[in-house]
Amino acid sequence: MKILIKNVILGKRKVDILIEGEKISKIGKNLNLRADEKIDGKGEKAVIPGLINCHTHSAMILFRGLAEDLPLKDWLEKEIWPRESKLTEDDVYWGTKLAILEMIKSGTTTFNEMYWFEEAQIEAVKEMGIRANIGLVMLDFLPTGSKEKVEKLYLKFSHLATQPLGHLVTFSIAPHAIYTVSKENLIWAKNFAKRHKLLIHMHLSETEKEVKDCLKKYKMRPVEFLEKIGFLNKNCVFAHCVWLENKEIEILEKRGCSLVYNPTSNMKLASGVFPWKKIKGRKINVCLGTDGPASNNSLNLFSEMKIGAILQKIENKNPTVISAKEIFQMATKNGAKALRINAGEIKVGRLADLVLIDLNKIEMFPEYDLISNLVYSDAKNCVSDVICNGKILMREGKIEEEEKILKIANCRLQNANWKK
Amino acid sequence: MKILIKNVILGKRKVDILIEGEKISKIGKNLNLRADEKIDGKGEKAVIPGLINCHTHSAMILFRGLAEDLPLKDWLEKEIWPRESKLTEDDVYWGTKLAILEMIKSGTTTFNEMYWFEEAQIEAVKEMGIRANIGLVMLDFLPTGSKEKVEKLYLKFSHLATQPLGHLVTFSIAPHAIYTVSKENLIWAKNFAKRHKLLIHMHLSETEKEVKDCLKKYKMRPVEFLEKIGFLNKNCVFAHCVWLENKEIEILEKRGCSLVYNPTSNMKLASGVFPWKKIKGRKINVCLGTDGPASNNSLNLFSEMKIGAILQKIENKNPTVISAKEIFQMATKNGAKALRINAGEIKVGRLADLVLIDLNKIEMFPEYDLISNLVYSDAKNCVSDVICNGKILMREGKIEEEEKILKIANCRLQNANWKK
């Protein structure tokens, strides 16, 4: 399968791009080559890497708007958990499909997932054609979070993970957090991940309470505890990382961990502010995530980039503390690095995960600086075409199965058990 | 002119709405009446009041993305002011039209404006059919900001202001700020506004520097100074209001002033955080604004509501400090109150300024709580139809002259003087 994209703006140049199979194979002027599909940007579309959402719980879209503006404890214990316990595999399948719809429409081509019913997620990802890292979730107090489940699922699906570059589904081991997974199980997870060359995807230091509880239980701060048990290495992708002290940041740097900034969720739940100023300038890979759509309430990484940038500016009383370019890189190149995928940049040899931006939309006016417009001007509805793994997922704003998915999902979920 | 809107969701009910002339004349079930225009919501659209942007500088859209992530002083002095000094009336006319395009597309039907070349703005507003309060700007160091200009312009256009309810253009006197307008001119402005029953639209306590300079110059804080010169009354609409002490808030409450919360701009420029917690529960009318699109960089009030809500949650370390409903009210009912227009609610007798929301969009899923989805789920692209003053400005996402305006504006501005 070949796709030829004509006349798109890449940086300051107008170029043609040839995609062969799952990769970008040529970028140049006047490529007049045969292709199965052609898209003409007419010099009025820009091309950017597909955005990468490094931390989410997709199917929680089912709970979006359900119970807002509550204290975290009430929200979780009274509203979310009782409903989650009633979710079925079918619910998660449809929830994941809906979330993927929203991600594609907002220019996301890869997401790093952590939620239950992993098999349903895999099904949804494969059908929708997006790229995802599926976390095999561990949680001590649930049978669906056991080591046995992780082993069983990994055995069943490992053929996907070990296939060569370009396949849509990869896996991580996803122990929920240090306060929900025992030391023994964390060590098991670390070893399992190492043995199978998997990523680890985990919440870390999201709330002050987590740190206080850790100090009480282990007499150490969370990162010190993880260091002590030999958990930390460059396969770790940690979400939130709000309550970090300098000594912890130094450890994370030394071990080469990736950190995921989740500004909207951290603000909405009043968890705290990611310590960007302490991290900036260090050799730490920082990427961006929306967190689940029940605590954001969106999967739009354009909005996340804006909120992420302006939050750091106000927090540090300094408008220069972070630039549009830096936050854009978190949502693209850094995300790809964290998830070990050959994407995040438009270059020959990279995976063909890319997004076309309609420059004729009012949000892209004036065209002084594309990156600035993408980050600050609310660019979601300028996404016109989305290609992932060399396949067109959205063309001129249209996703083939969009209406059908929305209709079926609506019907299936109308009488869901957890809605009562 | 009559417009009949069939089968739209208003709160929990499905209703029909009849618009006669510029007002909502009937709301009920099964209104089968003759009308010049019909819109059928098919039970799949919700109706909300048109959003009200209480502080902006529209034509600054021309400078959007021009020079980002700079310290405020450099941004203003090196980038913005030198270019502003070269702007022509024609530039502002096209800039205002472009900004209005973006506002209509994001469901805004009224804006409170403060910028130069007021005549060009009036022209743009009338042509686009949106509602606006045009600030007659006062600035001591510019001839275009003189008392004489204000008097002359008011004389020329006062027939618009004194016409009965329902006309699109009203006026305010807009002294830029206490540090750019002398005490004498502020007193003149207050008296002029009082004599002609006009609003006053002014920046107030946006930065800490403004307060410090005021303390130095007048030995009082800004609000105390304004109180001392008898400036404060219920016609005042103050933008920003970030650096307020309790005693100042008490004065503003006593005088019945309206305050405009501009969260995104305050964050992006690192100005500070609006003291919502101190204000909440008082009898103070708080409304919402985007500020100019060069310091936001958007005119989307949906995004402003979200950012405004989550900023207060993190600032006050309390997710319950502000609700979706409260911030939605700032952007609708409270805005109407500040600008003294009979809008901001969908009720019989109110001006027909309303917006239809497409409930079939993924952002509106699930439908637990419309207000929560509007505030938190990135709802801009769910705006399908916009009616202002009983006239349809956008239908099914289409604005009649959109492409034409974008094309002409682009051509006209390509070689603009200030772009060099």
- Asked if the C-beta of A109 comes within 8 angstroms of chain B's C-beta atoms, the answer is no
Cross-chain Cβ contact A380/B380 below 8 Å: yes
- Cite the residue boundaries of each domain of chain A with CATH code 2.30.40.10: 2-49+346-402
B294-316 confidence digits (pLDDT tens): 999 999 999 999 999 999 999 99
Contact (CB, 8 A) for B346 and B19: no
Cross-chain Cβ contact B297/A71 below 8 Å: no
Q: Which of A318, A323, A325, A365 to substitute to test the interface with B, most B CBs within 10 Å?
A: A365
A 137-176 near B (Cβ less than 8 A): none
A399 token code pair: 């996703």
Please give the class, per CATH, of domain A2-49+346-402.
mainly beta
Nearest by CB: B273 against A62, A101, A314: A314
Cross-chain Cβ contact B64/A319 below 8 Å: no
Chain A CB contacts of B65 below 8 Å: 366-369, 372-373, 376-377
Is residue B49 pLDDT above 90, yes or no?
yes
Domain A52-339 sits in which CATH superfamily? Metal-dependent hydrolases (3.20.20.140)
Please give the class, per CATH, of domain B2-49+349-403.
mainly beta
- Asked if the C-beta of B270 comes within 8 angstroms of chain A's C-beta atoms, the answer is yes
Is residue B353 pLDDT above 90, yes or no?
yes
Chain B CB contacts of A368 below 8 Å: 64-66
Least confident of A302-306, B69-73, B158-162, B363-367: B158-162
Nearest CA in chain B to A268: B310
Nearest by CB: B319 against A71, A324, A378: A71
- Asked if the C-beta of B211 comes within 8 angstroms of chain A's C-beta atoms, the answer is no
Is residue B164 pLDDT above 70, yes or no?
no
Task: Please tell me the distance from the alpha carbon of residue A216 to that of residue A210, in angstroms, as a whole number.
Answer: 10
Chain B CB contacts of A300 below 8 Å: 378
Is residue B383 pLDDT above 90, yes or no?
yes
Q: Which fold has domain B51-338?
A: TIM Barrel (3.20.20)
Cross-chain Cβ contact B68/A273 below 8 Å: no
- What's the mean pLDDT in B339-348? 96
Cross-chain Cβ contact B298/A376 below 8 Å: yes
Chain A CB contacts of B369 below 8 Å: 65-66, 68
B281-294 confidence digits (pLDDT tens): 999 999 999 999 99
- Cite the residue boundaries of each domain of chain B with CATH code 3.20.20.140: 51-338
Name residue B216's amino acid.
Answer: K
* Chunked mean pLDDT (size 10), chain A, 420 residues: 97 96 96 95 98 98 90 85 92 96 98 96 95 96 92 88 67 96 98 96 97 97 98 97 98 98 97 98 98 96 98 97 98 98 97 97 94 97 97 97 92 78
Rg (CA), chain B: 21
Chain B CB contacts of A413 below 8 Å: 366
- Cite the residue boundaries of each domain of chain B with CATH code 2.30.40.10: 2-49+349-403
Give the closest-approach CA distance of B192 to chain A in angstroms.
Answer: 37
Nearest by CB: B377 against A66, A273, A298: A298
Q: What are phi and psi of A376, to 5 degrees?
A: -105, -15
- Cite the residue boundaries of each domain of chain A with CATH code 3.20.20.140: 52-339
Give the closest-approach CA distance of B191 to chain A in angstroms.
Answer: 37
Is residue B280 pLDDT above 60, yes or no?
yes
Is residue B187 pLDDT above 70, yes or no?
yes
